[in-house]
Amino acid sequence: MKKIFLVFVASLYLFGADYYYMNGDKRVDLTPMPQKETALRGLKNIMTFKNPAGQEIAIPDKIIVKFKTLDNTGDYLNLYDLKVLKKLRGGVYLLGAKSPKAAIEAANALNDAPDIMYAQPDIIKKRHLR
């Protein structure tokens, strides 16, 4: 029984997803939480995590991106299978992905692209009453 448990734990460590997003130049590691059947902001396709501060956050299938130039926008959208959902102020766009996991991966990849000022998942923080 101990061997089975050790193999299970080792497989989680080796094959488990490494969830994080970039906030500027800082990597923010995320701890996955059990997924709930509740919808936030009318969204059904979300994943919930705990951030390093212990806050519960949710990440939908959306990312926020600010492009330096709009020259290669279509290339990035095609490469990461994204679609423009909304143009916000100042050259910032809300993009949609196929899943929350795809949104996290695309945001991390776009954050390193030379034509992108920043990219990160559209994070939903749980509100606390004071």
Phi, psi of 2 (to 5 degrees): -65, -40
Write out pLDDT tens, residues 66-75: 998 877 788 8
Beta carbons within 10 angstroms of residue 3's beta carbon: 7
**DSSP E strand boundaries for the chain:** 20-23, 26-29, 31-32, 46-50, 56-60, 62-67, 83-87, 92-96, 116-121, 124-125
Write out pLDDT tens, residues 28-58: 999 998 876 555 556 678 889 998 998 899 9
Q: What is the pLDDT of residue 110?
A: 93
Q: What is the mean pLDDT of residues 107-119?
A: 91
